[in-house]
Structure 1
């Protein structure tokens, strides 16, 4: 599949999809927990930000490669989308034009698509928020696009620094976007579940007044690194 990265003029109609129940469950853990649980990998560049707040999603990646300033392949991709998919879009070279707005969102919503992740620009953001269509993008830019150059749909892409294969799992929230390999989803789900339980236990202990220094057994390591406590500033100066 990696040999298809950057190839244009391709549309793959059928892609593998992970268990939908597990995908939905992964959403409740959040990007930070999932990222840590799978070994701190899969996180998109921090420049990919949500246009809305207090929203989270998970879903299956339908990948799209587009040319700079050209959104033709969005219209091709819509036909390949299924309910609960997430459109993940990369450009063949850097571009922050407004590839996507309310009309394309209307078309995607009619197919049951949950969100858009795009390493480029979008526009009509107020309308998109009013519509309830979730977007994470590199830029917000009113500059329009044309429809002249072929890209590809459902091939591997590099989006915001990460390889995304069609059928991979996307998790996104206020903290950013993380990609989970489709075949790794069961393990990542279980690891995320355990991590969330441990974090909740620590939260209870912290709320009761216990110190992170003790919960995380930091004191000895701090001493070994040379941290010294003084009762008064004059003792340090002396």
Structure 2
């Protein structure tokens, strides 16, 4: 059985913090996706299943094995407060690899959310714990780990595919009720600058619309809608 666990990458919180400060921006995943010219946006079926909260933080990646889905308990030995657990479960819809107890452990560890290309369960408990999860589906069938005791094969902090996007350890995850955008770590400064400018322009445009501005006036003033 293959079991690969790599250390958490070095992450400069000064690059992450400005994105966290955009928490209250409307449609944040859209703004971030637009700032990357529509790249690195996960599939439309990746939707919230837990608490009604945005997820913003660097990725701790998990790669599971198709047909042999196990619980990813090893992430709790690596993740730090503010991290996001991002799981490549091969889009498996019939075996859930994240449940209420995982949400509780993650919340206690300061993890800010989980993004799963696969299934989760215990959505009600996640909401009770105020823990946000984005996943492809949810369903009651658990992974076999609780019965078999086996926690491998698993790979942690390797490049993965999640929601149709390549995610590397340390990449920034921005998830909301609309979807998920992924900012490559090396592009954080550039993308933030563009996203902040767009968000500020949208705020100003929204104010003009509420004052009754026409399409022509908006285009003349802002260049886009």
Question: Is structure 2 residue 30 aligned with structure 1 residue 27?
Answer: no
Output the CA distance in 2 between the equivalents of 1:73 and 1:141: 15
- Which of 5, 10, 15 aligns to 1:11? It is 5
Q: How big is the alpha-carbon RMSD for the aligned residues of Structure 1 and Structure 2?
A: 1.9
Question: Match of 1:178?
Answer: 181
Deviation at 1:21, TM superposition (A): 1.9
- Which of 115, 118, 121 aligns to 2:119? It is 121
Deviation at 1:71, TM superposition (A): 4.8
Show structure 1 runs of 4+ deviating over 6 A: none
Unaligned runs of 5+ in 2: 221-225
Question: Match of 1:40?
Answer: 38
TM-score, normalised with respect to structure 1: 0.82
Deviation at 1:26, TM superposition (A): 4.3
1:50-86: CA deviation from partner (whole Å, max 9, x where unpaired)? 0146421200100000123655351112211100000
Count of aligned positions: 210
Output the CA distance in 1 between the equivalents of 2:215 and 2:52: 28
**Contact 2:51–2:126, Cα closer than 8 Å, also in 1:** no
**Contact 1:69–1:144, Cα closer than 8 Å, also in 2:** no
Unaligned runs of 5+ in 1: 1-7, 218-238
User: Secondary structure at 1:99's aligned position in 2?
Assistant: coil
Q: Counterparts of 1:1-238 in structure 2 under 5 Å?
A: 8-19=2-13, 20-29=16-25, 30-52=28-50, 54-68=52-66, 70-72=68-70, 74-91=72-89, 93-96=90-93, 97-147=95-145, 148=150, 149-216=152-219
Output the CA distance in 1 between the equivalents of 2:12 and 2:88: 22
Distance 1:71 1:109, change over 3 A: farther
Output the CA distance in 1 between the equivalents of 2:54 and 2:105: 21
